[in-house]
Amino acid sequence: MTPTPGQASDATPDPDALQPLLPADPSALAGYRLLGRLGAGGMGVVYLGRTDTGALAAVKVTHADQADQADFRARFRREVEAARRVVSPWAVPVTGADPDAPEPWMATAFVPGPSLGEAVRAHGPLPERSARILGGAVARALAAVHAAGLVHRDVKPGNVLLAVDGPRLIDFGIARATGETGLTSTDMVVGTPGFLAPEQAEARAADIGPAADVFALGCLLAFAATGRPPFGSGALDALLYRTVHDEPDLAGVPEGLLDLVRQCLAKEPSARPTAEEIAGRLTEDTPGAPADWLPAPVVATIAARSAAMLALPDIDPTAPGTDPAGPAAPAPSRRGFLLLGASAAAVLAAGGGAYALLRQREDTDGKNPAPTTRTTWSIGVLADLSGPAREIGRAQERGARLAVERFNAVHKGKPFTLELKVSDDRGDRAGAFAAARRLTSDPSVLAVLGPTSDDTGIAALPAFEEAGVPLLTTSAGYHLLTLRAGSGPQNTTVLRAIPSHFMAGTFLAWSTTLLPQVRHPGVLQERTDDNYSWQYVSGARYGFRQAGLKPHFRVVPGRATDYRRIIGEMIDAGIDTYIHCGVRSTAVLAARALNELGFTGPRFTGQHVFGPQFLKEAGSAAEGWFVCAPVIDPVQRAADPKQKAADRKLTQDFLDAHRKRYGTTPAFYTGESFDVVNLVTTWLATSAGKGPLTRKGLWQALRTQKYTGAMGGYSFDKDADLAGVGTFLYGVQKGAYKYLGPAPGGPANTKSATSKKS
């Protein structure tokens, strides 16, 4: 199936982000003076326009190459006709259009307010009264849509604008006449996953009617009241699956709205109320005095945007296209001056650091080589040292520090020494970019170990891409760190020294096939960390398919706590093995429930559960679990007679160095971090005499390395992902993890692939 989100071009961006017109843009169109760009995409451009009377409009103009396609022009004409058929004070009206122009265009009234999505992200969920007013107004708009014989099909937070006198429904780009299916492919999902009905998620075109909009309205109300979609977020396939099969997560929906939202979210279209019925149930809540229906912060946002509209430049005294009475140059606007002043102030405030970054960019562009006189270079560590994953982050820092100290001891008296520079991102996505910039703006930093978590990695990645600094991770498995979606740029920044979560899920599934009694595994996906769990489930699904097994899948919200009921239902379905695709806290709940229910089958889980905290929190309920993780216990590896003597010595040397430096046995992830930094320093040592060291070309050089360290061998494929397996199996015995060996590289009854570390 191919999900097709609705066009978002009618949405109103922040006027502060209004972009100037480009030289190729028209200055006027059909009576609208164009003031700037509101947005642009592959389909066309949306301009902010103004009539001679001062009325503002969002003017959408399609690209000429799109207009040359007969089906596109037909869709655009249908959008115009659909929008014109809807008459409601709660729907944004069309103020002009020409679908037959060389570049078809349509203008709608401009609403200088945020979308519901923007408002909730910036200021949090709406109070109950605001949500009720919102629902009533959107229901009235939908009632008008349905009365016109249409189905909107893309009711979502981005398509509802907030104004002082009430909300406005926008974007009829994928609206259809009721019962119309001829222009929709039977296998195409139309709408926005997370805000569409089960019949849309399954592409049942014949069943998509007004009730689908009501389901979306239920999702919209839940989002407005709680700040999150009722079926979670993450991968599109996961959202579609949960929409069809899972119950919505309505925790936090006010009691006064709960029954109505539940009725809207009924799986069967016939069980949902009509938009008109919903409007009738919410009639007591309509906006009174302007703006009294919204929280004060949202009203302030609307006021600020309205003021920005008043500050836009006046219409030229001469009509566009005519010669003014002289060649005087345009005076700079106060707005432009303020923007220029702010930019200059930011650069000056950055001081020497900004200048150093500029020099570093010059040094690495090939035109101005880095100076050869530098005597100190740095390896950076970006890690969670004080947040939720601080145990892993601190282990990573210790491993990196040991590697840097080893380099300086071995290469004493060489042309340069190494320093370790550490930046704590606190496990906070919001501060991860700034934490990364503290390292990437330092011209001495050649490469960075990190991050500790997926979320901080995604947030920090632009800083590394901008500066050209290689980022090597031993714990972040999110696939988009190395794999770009669609036509996105190719990865030239990250080297991932662990499997992606998808591959880890595949290895987890194959690990279960080592046990001959496994015939009907049960896989639980819980959505606390949705990206992680969905990737693990996707990998497990693939692995079990390869093994010829058909699992029983169950999806639950991250806030679910009644694991006795959830797992009881899975046991009743006949599962003989339990696989937990979720985080540690819910694995603890699952472990206790399995014990209470007397389940005696094998229990498996993955990376986010592995660690001493699971053993501590689950207690005796952890006994007998199998856990797959991307790390090896160095003590067990050093004592493993299956390892070569030389490899055991490398591991023992690492153990001795750690005990000498820190007085303890190393925690998990320390050895892998030690190895990965050694991979970098080994290359630096062999390359120092061949020319000046710079960041330029370092990622490509590291990607081709084949390195054997204390914890095994490392090499990377063309996408800079770890080559081989790299996942290891542990069993919980007597309250401790017992290392059982590398996970199989295929189902147990097939030939296994070569593992990363042997």
* Per-residue burial over 692-728, b = 16 or more CB atoms within 10 Å of its CB, e = otherwise: ebbbbebbeebbeeebbbbbbbbebeebbbbbbbbbb
Distance between CA atoms of residues 580 and 283, nearest Å: 46
Q: What are the structure tokens assigned to 757, written together?
A: 């570390």
Using DSSP's 3-state secondary structure scheme, residue 499 falls into coil
Q: Are 83 and 172 in contact (CB under 8 A)?
A: yes
Domain residue spans of the chain: 2-304, 374-499+638-723, 501-629
Q: Are 578 and 603 in contact (CB under 8 A)?
A: yes
Q: What are the structure tokens assigned to 649, written together?
A: 């010595």
Q: What are the structure tokens assigned to 745, written together?
A: 């590289």
Q: Are 680 and 711 in contact (CB under 8 A)?
A: no
Considering the four listed CATH numbers 1.10.150.530, 1.20.1290.10, 1.10.510.10, 3.40.50.300, the one that applies to the domain covering 2-304 is 1.10.510.10
CATH class of the 501-629 domain in this structure: alpha beta
Distance between CA atoms of residues 618 and 680, nearest Å: 39
pLDDT of residue 471: 97
Q: Is 500 left (phi over 0), alpha (psi -120 to 50) or beta?
A: beta
**CB-based burial of residue 369 (10 Å sphere; 0-12 exposed, 13-18 middle, 19+ buried)?**
middle
Distance between CA atoms of residues 222 and 121, nearest Å: 14
Distance between CA atoms of residues 379 and 422, nearest Å: 9
In this structure, the chain runs to a length of 758
Using DSSP's 3-state secondary structure scheme, residue 745 falls into coil
Is the pLDDT assigned to residue 600 strictly greater than 90?
yes
Q: Averaging pLDDT over each range in 62-71, 173-182, 466-475, which range is the top one? A: 466-475
CA-to-CA separations, 632 to 624, 715, 742, in angstroms, rounded: 19, 17, 9
- Regarding pTM above 0.75, the answer is no
pLDDT of residue 571: 97
Average pLDDT of the segment spanning 728-734:
97
Q: What are the structure tokens assigned to 148, written together?
A: 């016109």
Using DSSP's 3-state secondary structure scheme, residue 709 falls into strand
Q: Are 480 and 445 in contact (CB under 8 A)?
A: no
Residue 167 pairs in a beta bridge with: 162
Tell me the per-residue pLDDT of 10-27, one tens digit each, with 9 for 90 and over: 334 444 456 788 887 888
Q: What are the structure tokens assigned to 73, written together?
A: 């022009």
**CB-based burial of residue 306 (10 Å sphere; 0-12 exposed, 13-18 middle, 19+ buried)?**
middle
* Per-residue burial over 628-653, b = 16 or more CB atoms within 10 Å of its CB, e = otherwise: bbbbbbbeebbebeebeeebbebbbe
Is the pLDDT assigned to residue 135 strictly greater than 80?
yes
Tell me the per-residue pLDDT of 198-243, one tens digit each, with 9 for 90 and over: 998 888 888 889 999 999 999 999 999 999 999 988 777 788 888 9
Cβ-based neighbours of 593, under 8 Å, separated by 6 or more:
563, 564, 566, 567, 568
Considering the four listed CATH numbers 3.40.630.30, 3.40.50.300, 3.40.50.2300, 3.40.50.880, the one that applies to the domain covering 374-499+638-723 is 3.40.50.2300
CA-to-CA separations, 710 to 57, 400, 633, 648, 652, in angstroms, rounded: 65, 13, 11, 8, 8
Higher pLDDT, 420 or 466: 420
Distance between CA atoms of residues 726 and 717, nearest Å: 13
Average pLDDT of the segment spanning 348-375:
38
Q: What are the structure tokens assigned to 687, written together?
A: 């390359």
CATH topology identical between 374-499+638-723 and 501-629: yes
Distance between CA atoms of residues 30 and 15, nearest Å: 23
SS3 readout for 263-303: HHCCCCHHHCCCHHHHHHHCCCCCCCCCCCCCCHHHHHHHH
Average pLDDT of the segment spanning 273-289:
73
Torsion of Cα atoms, 11 then 16 then 20 then 26, to 10° = 40
CA-to-CA separations, 586 to 263, 534, 559, 577, 608, in angstroms, rounded: 29, 15, 9, 17, 11
Tell me the per-residue pLDDT of 319-355, one tens digit each, with 9 for 90 and over: 444 333 333 333 333 222 222 222 222 222 223 332 2
pLDDT of residue 65: 60
Q: Are 603 and 703 in contact (CB under 8 A)?
A: no
pLDDT of residue 336: 28
Pairing status of strand 32-40 against strand 577-581: unpaired
Active-site positions read: 154
Tell me the per-residue pLDDT of 392-433, one tens digit each, with 9 for 90 and over: 999 999 999 999 999 999 987 777 899 999 999 999 988 899
Using DSSP's 3-state secondary structure scheme, residue 160 falls into strand
